[in-house]
Structure 1
Amino acid sequence: MQSHAGTLQAETAQDDTTNLPENESITQLRHLGTWVLPSQWQKSLLLFLKGQPQVLGAAQILIGLLTLCLGVTISPFSPYDYGHRCCMITNTGYHVWGSFSFLVSGALSVAAGRKVTKCLIQGSLGMNTVSAIVAGFGTSLIILEELVMYGNRIWRSSRGSLFIGMLTGMLFLSLAEGCIALFLSIFACRVACSVNKVVVFLPNNNNSPSVVSPEHVYDEVAF
Structure 2
Amino acid sequence: MIPWEHLDTAVVPDGGGELRLMRRGAEYSIMAGAIELMNSRLSGSEEALATLVCARVGPAARLLIGGYGMGFTLRAALAALGPQASLVVAELVPKVVDWARGPMAHLSAGGLEDPRVSVVLGDVSRAIAAGAKAYDAILLDVDNGPEGLSRKENDRLYSREGLAAARRALSPGGVLAVWSSGPSEAFTRRLKSAGFDVEVVPVRAGGGKRGARHVIWLAVSP
Kindly indicate which of the two structures has a greater share of residues assigned to helix: 1
Greater relative contact order (Cα < 8 A, sep 6+): 1
TM-score bracket for this pair, using the shorter chain length: under 0.3
> With structure 1 as the length reference, what TM-score do the two structures score?
0.25
> With structure 2 as the length reference, what TM-score do the two structures score?
0.25
Kindly indicate which of the two structures has a greater share of residues assigned to strand: 2
